[in-house]
Amino acid sequence: MAPKLPDLDQWLDAVAPVVKLDVAAEQRAGVRDQLKTAAKLAALLEKVPLKDETAAAAVYRA
């Protein structure tokens, strides 16, 4: 089943001012598409179970 996506316009309008980002009208559709893709990918990641003790690997060390 496809993940339920958030309201992308609402998201954009709420968060862009917080990070002081001005998204011009002609760029709105493109940004929204990218958010949609990101939301789908995040939903995919949510399906992978992680142990509580799995720490982030923000800086990789082999």
Partner 1 sequence: MKSTDGAAAIVNAVATAQTSARSVMVETLARIEVNTGRTGAFTDVLKERAPATADGVDADLKAGKKLPLAGVPFAVANAFDLKGIATRAGSKIGREGLAATADAALVTRLEAAGAICVGAANMDEFGLGHTGENPHDGAVHNPHELAAIAGGAPAGLAAAIAGGMVPVGLGLDSDGGLRIAASLSGVFAIKPTYGRLSRVGVFPVAPGLDGAGVMARSVEDLTLAYDAAQGVDVADPAMVKRPLEPVSGRLERGSAGLRIAIADGDFAGAGDVRQMMDEIGKRLEVMRRVTIPHAQAALAAAHLIVMAEAASLHAERLRTRPADFDPAVFDRLAAGSLLPAQWIERAQRFRRMFHEQMLALFSTIDVILAPATPMRAPRLGQKSARVGTIEVPVRQSLNSYTAAFSLSGLPVAAVPIAMEGQRLPLGVQAIAAPWREDFALRIARELERTGLAKAPVARGFAEE
Q: Do 13 and 46 form a contact (C-beta atoms < 8 A)?
A: no
22 sits near partner 1 (criterion: CB under 8 A): yes
Give the Cα separation of 44 and 38 in Å (integer). 10
30 sits near partner 1 (criterion: CB under 8 A): yes
Give the Cα separation of 44 and 5 in Å (integer). 12
C-beta of 5 vs 41, nearer to partner 1: 41
Number of residues in contact with partner 1 under rule CB under 8 A? 36
60 sits near partner 1 (criterion: CB under 8 A): yes
Min dist. Cβ of residue 37 to partner 1 (A): 7
